[in-house]
Amino acid sequence: MQTDSSFTFVLFGGTGDLSMRKILPALFEAHRAGGMLADSGKIVAVARHVADRGEYLQWVDAHVKPYVSKNGLDEVAWTSFLARIEFVKIDLGNPDDFAQLRDAIQDLPGIRVFYLATGPSLFVPICHALAAVGLNHNARIVLEKPLGYDLKSSNAINDAVGEIFAEEQIYRIDHYLGKEPVQNLLALRFGNALFEPLWRREWVESIQITIAEELGVEARGDFYDNTGALRDMVQNHLLQLLSIVAMEPPHSMDSDSVRDEKLRVLRALKPIDPREIGKVAVRGQYHSGVIRGNAVPAYATEHGVKPDSSTETFVALKVEIENWRWAGVPFFLRTGKRLADRVAEIVVNFRPVPHSALGASALRAGANRLVLRLQPNETIRLYCLAKQPGEGMNLASVHLNLAFDQFFREAQMEAYQRLLLDVINGRLALFVRRDEQEAAWRWVEPILNEWKASTKPPKPYAAGTWGPAAASAMLAQHDTCWLEEEN
């Protein structure tokens, strides 16, 4: 991907964890690849914890290098990357300081990208301060999640930001949409005659979407205890993946065509009846356990977490889409912390053959399935049945495997790298539009409200397991199970 799009990339929260682990490594990889970033492009870090550019570059050298040197660091590329970086020390709580930022970037060429890698409480003050010094023109602004605590607070942020930046200037980032298998899902569905005729209720029995983490809340106990898994993962990541899986074919891949179809899915989600939440929603909280031989503490004893906390660290949901394509097909969503493995995957279970001339084994589980693994290794596998060598018609489950790192010689692009390049080049298709976000919050809120009012605590599960037994029981009611239970 060659570009001559000049840019000034202003990184708020320039010393923060997200900047060190994801944003700057992604920009470095684009820089190292050559041709992805215009030679004139500049990165301007904004922070208050270091004194000047020299000290900031030392900070970057110490904190970013571990994330870009796994396969060996190109020191020449690293040195030239650091030459792109400028630094402005300002206090984000002091609007008067933004004049320094204006003076520092006003003569730099190209589009201005403001990346807010800060807490959401700073989004509106930063936007107001940018507008006060005239920096909201010829600009794009990137907002990290969480964008609000509920529909009302989300609308308040969007209203305030929308007064300063037009909708086409606002990039609400969800890094799962930048992952290679998610992009390949669109290619598989809309580029191959094999899959699109099967992608409907007549041929799909159920769909599972899982984002599982081995990690706990780490140093984010204060934040997480006021957020929970439903807000942190379901309202954004899982519902965005669901909308990609279930969307109708767009007439083109331009930004609004794709997002229009995703919005139709979100608006077609069957509303959750508060009286039925116990049947279609499971919330859990991890207790102490063992993960890969290491003892880990219970959530309630994590730093920053209230000892009597009822915050959920696990959510499993049965979701239905009320439209012609998907009526009656259950979508099972699941996410959690301190689970048995780190995995993100989409599992499409096709219906078995209606009659088997090959015996009962042709109806066995483990076949007629498409599995898209998003992490840790990105693959797509199509499972089917084949005859085992030897006497008799004995069938076994086999799979066709597309392992991107083996099939394609080009290095895979990390999600943040793809998305940051899209921001710089003005491509909005992989970013969340405001009406999508509102539809997601509107669907999630009845669950949030019911759990808030409930006197029942989250269901316990031991760290290192796959969550509460109730999540498995919910699928058993539909004569199915989670993928790892079958294996």
Q: Is the peptide bond before 376 cis (omega within 30 degrees of 0)?
A: yes
Q: Per 3-state DSSP, what percentage of the chain is helix, strand, and coil (rounded to 5)? A: 40, 20, 35
Residue ranges for the known binding site for NADP(+) are 48, 91-92, 145
Do residues 467 and 461 touch, judged by C-beta distance below 8 A? yes
Contacts of 104 (CB under 8 A, 6+ apart): 44, 86, 88
The dihedral sign for the CA sequence 262, 265, 267, 271: negative
Q: Is 384 helix (H, G, I), strand (E, B) or coil?
A: strand
Reduced to 3 states (helix: H, G, I; strand: E, B; else coil), residue 483 is helix
Q: How many CB atoms lie within 10 A of CB 58?
A: 11
Annotated binding site: 48, 91-92, 145, 175, 179, 213, 232, 337
Which of 24, 135, 53 lies closest to 414, judged by CA? 24
**49 flagged as catalytic:** no
Cα separation, 226 vs 231, in Å, equals: 10
Which residues make up each annotated binding site for substrate?
A: 175, 179, 213, 232, 337
Of 267, 91, 255, nearest in space to 169 by CA: 255
Single out the catalytic residue among 49, 128, 137, 237: 237
Q: Which of 234, 189, 206, 215 is nearest to 483 (CA)?
A: 206
Residues assigned a catalytic role: 237
